[in-house]
Amino acid sequence: MQITFSEPKLPTSGTLVVGVFEENVLTPAAKAADNRLNGALSRAMKAADFTGKARQTAELLAPAGSKLDRIVAIGMGKADAIDALGAEKAGGTLYAKLSKAGGPVTVVVEGVGKAGMRAPEIAAHMAFGLRLRAYRFDKYRTTMKKEDKPRLKKVAFGVKGAAAAKRAYQPLAMIGDGVYFTRDLVSEPANVLYPESFAAEVKALTKLGVKVEVLGEKQMEKLGMGSLLGVGLGSRRESQLVVMQWNGAPKSKKSKPIAFVGKGVTFDTGGISLKPGNGMWDMKWDMGGAGVVSGLMKALAGRKAKVNVIGILGLVENMPDGNAQRPGDVVTSMSGQTIEVLNTDAEGRLVLADALWYTQDRFKPEFMVNLATLTGAIIVALGNVHGGLFSNDDELARRLEAAGKAVDEPIWRFPLHAEYDKAIDSPIADMKNISTAGGAGSITAAQFLQRFVNKVPWAHLDIAGVTWSNKDKPTVPKGATAFGVRLLERLVADHYEA
Ligand code: BES
Ligand code: MN
Ligand code: ZN
């Protein structure tokens, strides 16, 4: 998608898009277009019952007396209520409406008086929303008909203060690149994306100034990561631990880094505790947490965030095999704690146990946030709307909740409690990897992780319900959502940049 900003001018060909605020408060451009067409635009809006409510659209095709192909009115909602999210959703809705349109598209963006956001800001966020909605993963569609593919490739925004709009769009474009990177990783099938090929994709971030180290099985064995390595025993693919570092804080500021850790199970069959066949294909996106951490690092490095950040990925494939670990096996984690593996399908926590321990041990971070498609139980509790939040630190939890709200990636906090913790005590090891008490499956998993954070401020986001979407949303087409990239980028921007 090519997006440009220039000073506003009514186009003489192609598609003209004008914003209309609620109760048909025509912006000056809309009014000018309407006048030129002798009121045809107002009549079309009336005929379509269009009143300017957020995300309504109305269109007028090949208007007489004009060389334009069409004019589209996009509802912007109440003039004084327009905000970044509203503008993004308008932009995304516009993309969905025009994706099959040929020819140039010009969007004229105006603010209305003192109320609400300024026009350059609105334009930048509309462009961002449009780009987010335009994501596609069709590299394997070799016989797709041309008419089924989107034709919209270029959108020009006409806005007073185009230079300011361009400037405001710059960091958003970098966040967009991060979101696209995550969606690409999450969409790839597991025969293409496995631990080594995933690590290779992440290596490309060195071009942006990210330092990337990749640890293989030998190195992890030396570190004593028996918990992570146990999960990969049944796989032909070698497990990997990826360590990314972005050092963007000014040298004068000696602060602890912040750290993000992702579950990267490139395919989860369940292992010997094999999952049923129906729906198992979804487990290609069991690396969603690692995908988000990768996209976040890309976004932060892309916009040269003034912060020191660590990104850690635990990459493994969970397969049944003659060499796979068995239910009842006992493994020793890097922390020294032993784990009785009662269910080989509760593997994400085994991967994160060593990844979290390694992160706090090596980097002594100010905080750690891990992301994981960890439990089916979180989908029972929250469906596909909120992610689950678990934390040992109220301030960090509040900041995460606020960031999620601000970017429309909402999360809901669950409790941690000693009584839940007891449920994973084992009679033959320090702990077992599932509770046999029944109930509270997502909390049990979080309690397990907490045993490996060594009192560092920490939060766990269970994103099993929000990593993949079966329906289109204004700025998120169905498929891989990248839920978490924008949330964490916002967390960093709001609290941790020098
Ligand atoms: N990757 C799954 C969780 C999951 C389920 C993610 C559905 C996305 C959609 C995880 O590894 C898993 O299998 N969890 C088990 C844990 C159980 C064995 C305690 C689950 O949720 O059933
Ligand atoms: Mn599993
Ligand atoms: Zn899993």
Ligand 1, residues 286, 420, 444: which to mutate, most atoms within 8 A of Cβ? 286
SS3 214: strand
User: Of ligand 1's atoms, which has the minimum distance to the CA of residue 444?
Assistant: 19
Tell me which residue has its CA closest to atom 13 in ligand 1. Answer: 345
Task: Tell me if 373 CB under 6 Å of ligand 1.
Answer: yes
Q: What is the pLDDT of residues 429-472, one digit of tens each?
A: 999 999 989 999 999 999 999 999 999 999 999 999 999 999 99
Q: How far apart are CA 92 and CA 36, in angstroms?
A: 28
Q: How many whole angstroms from 466 Cα to the centroid of ligand 3?
A: 14
- How far CA 345 is from CA of 318, 350, 351, in Å, comes to 8, 10, 12
Helix (H) or strand (E) holding 246: strand 240-247
Given a cut of 90, whether residue 27 has pLDDT beyond it is no
Q: Token pair for residue 220?
A: 């992890």
pLDDT at 170: 98
Q: Which residues are designated catalytic? A: 275, 349
Q: What is the pLDDT of residues 180-227, one digit of tens each?
A: 999 999 999 999 999 999 999 999 999 999 999 999 999 999 999 999
- What's the whole-number mean pLDDT along residues 82-89? 95
Q: Token pair for residue 493?
A: 């921007």
pLDDT at 24: 77
**What values do phi and psi take at 277, rounded to 5?**
-65, -35
Helix (H) or strand (E) holding 309: strand 308-318
Give the DSSP letter of residue 476.
B
- Which residues does 142 contact at the CB level (< 8 Å), separation at least 6? none
Confidence of residue 113 (pLDDT cuts 50, 70, 90): low
Q: Token pair for residue 124?
A: 């930048």
Given a cut of 90, whether residue 30 has pLDDT beyond it is no
Identify the residue whose tokens are 């990969």.
Answer: 232
- What's the whole-number mean pLDDT along residues 394-402? 99
pLDDT at 79: 86
pLDDT at 347: 99
pLDDT at 51: 94
Confidence of residue 59 (pLDDT cuts 50, 70, 90): very high
Q: What is the pLDDT of residues 158-185, one digit of tens each?
A: 999 999 999 999 999 999 999 999 999 9
Q: How far apart are CA 364 and CA 488, in angstroms?
A: 19
Quick check: 32 and 10 in contact, CB under 8 A? yes
Sort 218 into a burial class: Cβ within 10 Å, 0-12 / 13-18 / 19+: exposed
Sort 85 into a burial class: Cβ within 10 Å, 0-12 / 13-18 / 19+: middle
Helix (H) or strand (E) holding 74: strand 70-75
pTM of the model: 0.98
pLDDT at 114: 61
- What's the whole-number mean pLDDT along residues 407-412? 98
Q: How many whole angstroms from 158 Cα to the centroid of ligand 1?
A: 48
Tell me which residue has its CA closest to atom 14 in ligand 1. Answer: 375
Q: What is the pLDDT of residues 242-263, one digit of tens each?
A: 999 999 999 887 789 999 999 9
- Mean pLDDT, rounded, of the chain: 96
Ligand 1, residues 340, 345, 378, 433: which to mutate, most atoms within 8 A of Cβ? 345
Quick check: 492 and 254 in contact, CB under 8 A? no
